Amino acid sequence: MSIAGTPAGGFKTVDQIDGTDLSLFRADQDAMTIALDLLSSHAAGGPVVDGQGKIVGFVSEIDLLDAVHSGKKLEQVRAQDIMTKDPIVAHKSTTLAEAFKLMKENHIVDLPVEVDGTVEYSVSRHDLLRAEVGLGPEE
Protein backbone atom coordinates (compact mmCIF):
# COMPACT_ATOMS: atom_id res chain seq x y z
CA MET A 1 0.00 0.00 0.00
CA SER A 2 1.37 3.39 -0.99
CA ILE A 3 0.47 6.48 1.02
CA ALA A 4 0.56 9.87 -0.72
CA GLY A 5 3.47 12.01 0.44
CA THR A 6 5.59 9.05 1.53
CA PRO A 7 8.95 8.77 -0.27
CA ALA A 8 9.56 5.65 -2.34
CA GLY A 9 10.94 3.08 0.08
CA GLY A 10 9.57 4.98 3.08
CA PHE A 11 11.12 7.56 5.37
CA LYS A 12 14.79 6.87 6.19
CA THR A 13 16.28 9.87 8.04
CA VAL A 14 15.03 12.49 10.50
CA ASP A 15 15.34 15.25 7.91
CA GLN A 16 12.62 13.53 5.86
CA ILE A 17 10.04 13.91 8.62
CA ASP A 18 8.55 17.00 10.17
CA GLY A 19 9.26 17.29 13.86
CA THR A 20 6.26 18.49 15.79
CA ASP A 21 8.17 19.70 18.86
CA LEU A 22 9.37 23.20 18.06
CA SER A 23 9.95 24.61 21.56
CA LEU A 24 13.37 26.08 22.28
CA PHE A 25 14.26 27.47 25.70
CA ARG A 26 16.94 29.83 27.03
CA ALA A 27 19.22 28.95 29.96
CA ASP A 28 17.97 31.98 31.95
CA GLN A 29 14.29 31.24 31.29
CA ASP A 30 12.19 30.51 34.38
CA ALA A 31 10.91 26.98 34.85
CA MET A 32 7.26 28.03 35.24
CA THR A 33 7.26 29.58 31.76
CA ILE A 34 8.84 26.39 30.41
CA ALA A 35 6.26 24.22 32.19
CA LEU A 36 3.39 26.26 30.74
CA ASP A 37 4.89 26.07 27.24
CA LEU A 38 5.28 22.28 27.48
CA LEU A 39 1.76 21.87 28.79
CA SER A 40 0.22 24.01 26.07
CA SER A 41 2.18 22.29 23.29
CA HIS A 42 1.81 18.75 24.71
CA ALA A 43 5.58 18.32 24.41
CA ALA A 44 7.55 16.26 26.93
CA GLY A 45 10.56 18.58 26.91
CA GLY A 46 12.66 20.89 24.83
CA PRO A 47 16.23 21.91 24.09
CA VAL A 48 17.89 24.78 25.89
CA VAL A 49 19.92 26.90 23.48
CA ASP A 50 22.37 29.78 23.76
CA GLY A 51 22.11 33.05 21.83
CA GLN A 52 23.50 31.41 18.68
CA GLY A 53 21.02 28.53 18.76
CA LYS A 54 23.59 25.99 19.95
CA ILE A 55 22.23 23.41 22.36
CA VAL A 56 23.47 23.69 25.95
CA GLY A 57 20.92 21.46 27.67
CA PHE A 58 17.49 19.88 27.65
CA VAL A 59 14.57 20.43 30.05
CA SER A 60 12.00 17.66 30.39
CA GLU A 61 8.79 17.19 32.32
CA ILE A 62 10.79 14.96 34.67
CA ASP A 63 13.24 17.82 35.39
CA LEU A 64 10.32 20.12 36.19
CA LEU A 65 8.55 17.55 38.36
CA ASP A 66 11.80 16.83 40.18
CA ALA A 67 12.17 20.53 40.97
CA VAL A 68 8.59 20.72 42.28
CA HIS A 69 9.01 17.60 44.41
CA SER A 70 12.26 19.02 45.79
CA GLY A 71 10.29 21.97 47.15
CA LYS A 72 11.44 24.51 44.57
CA LYS A 73 9.16 27.22 43.20
CA LEU A 74 9.23 27.02 39.42
CA GLU A 75 9.01 30.82 39.13
CA GLN A 76 12.36 31.06 40.94
CA VAL A 77 14.18 28.26 39.11
CA ARG A 78 15.99 28.78 35.81
CA ALA A 79 16.41 26.25 33.02
CA GLN A 80 20.16 26.16 33.65
CA ASP A 81 19.48 24.98 37.21
CA ILE A 82 17.46 21.91 36.24
CA MET A 83 18.38 21.04 32.65
CA THR A 84 20.23 17.96 31.56
CA LYS A 85 23.63 19.11 30.41
CA ASP A 86 25.31 17.50 27.37
CA PRO A 87 22.02 16.29 25.90
CA ILE A 88 21.77 13.68 23.20
CA VAL A 89 21.09 15.13 19.75
CA ALA A 90 20.40 13.87 16.27
CA HIS A 91 21.55 15.34 12.99
CA LYS A 92 19.51 15.57 9.82
CA SER A 93 21.32 12.50 8.45
CA THR A 94 20.46 10.39 11.53
CA THR A 95 18.42 7.41 10.40
CA LEU A 96 15.04 6.72 11.95
CA ALA A 97 16.47 3.46 13.30
CA GLU A 98 19.37 5.34 14.95
CA ALA A 99 16.96 7.93 16.38
CA PHE A 100 14.78 5.17 17.80
CA LYS A 101 17.82 3.46 19.33
CA LEU A 102 18.99 6.73 20.96
CA MET A 103 15.53 7.30 22.40
CA LYS A 104 15.11 3.76 23.66
CA GLU A 105 18.57 3.35 25.18
CA ASN A 106 18.51 6.76 26.86
CA HIS A 107 14.83 6.74 27.91
CA ILE A 108 14.06 10.01 26.11
CA VAL A 109 10.84 11.09 24.44
CA ASP A 110 12.10 14.04 22.39
CA LEU A 111 15.30 14.18 20.37
CA PRO A 112 16.67 17.59 19.31
CA VAL A 113 17.84 17.78 15.69
CA GLU A 114 20.87 19.90 14.86
CA VAL A 115 21.27 21.40 11.41
CA ASP A 116 24.55 23.21 10.70
CA GLY A 117 25.36 23.36 14.43
CA THR A 118 22.07 24.82 15.64
CA VAL A 119 18.92 23.14 16.90
CA GLU A 120 16.12 23.44 14.36
CA TYR A 121 13.46 21.26 16.00
CA SER A 122 12.95 18.04 17.96
CA VAL A 123 11.44 14.77 16.85
CA SER A 124 9.31 12.84 19.27
CA ARG A 125 8.56 9.14 19.54
CA HIS A 126 5.18 10.06 18.10
CA ASP A 127 6.90 11.60 15.04
CA LEU A 128 9.00 8.44 14.57
CA LEU A 129 6.00 6.15 14.83
CA ARG A 130 4.06 8.28 12.34
CA ALA A 131 6.99 8.08 9.89
CA GLU A 132 7.46 4.34 10.39
CA VAL A 133 3.82 3.67 9.46
CA GLY A 134 4.12 6.04 6.50
CA LEU A 135 2.05 9.00 7.67
CA GLY A 136 2.98 12.65 7.36
CA PRO A 137 2.11 15.24 10.04
CA GLU A 138 -1.15 16.32 8.41
CA GLU A 139 -2.51 12.82 7.88
User: Residue 100's domain is classified under what CATH number?
Assistant: 3.10.580.10
Could you tell me if residue 47 is inside a domain?
yes
Decide if pLDDT at 71 tops 50.
yes
Domain count, the chain: 1
- The residue segments making up the domain with residue 29 are 17-132
The answer to whether residue 138 is domain-embedded is no
Q: What pLDDT, on the 0 to 100 scale, is given for residue 5? A: 54
Residue range 83-106: mean pLDDT, rounded: 94
Tell whether 65 is covered by a domain.
yes
In a domain, 77, yes or no: yes
Kind of pairing between the strands at 25-26 and 45-49: parallel
The DSSP code for 111 is E
Q: Of 58, 62, 68, 2, which is closest to residue 25 (Cα–Cα)? A: 58
| pLDDT at site 42 | 87
Residue 4 pLDDT:
55
| Within a domain: 75 | yes
**What is the value of pTM for the model shown?**
0.85
Mean pLDDT of 95-121: 93
Domain for residue 1, yes or no?
Answer: no
Q: For the residues 25-33, what does the mean pLDDT come to? A: 97
Domain contains 102: yes
User: Which string of DSSP letters, residue by residue, matches 11-77?
Assistant: --BGGGS--SB---EETTSBHHHHHHHHHHHT-SEEEEE-TTS-EEEEEEHHHHHHHHHTT--GGG-
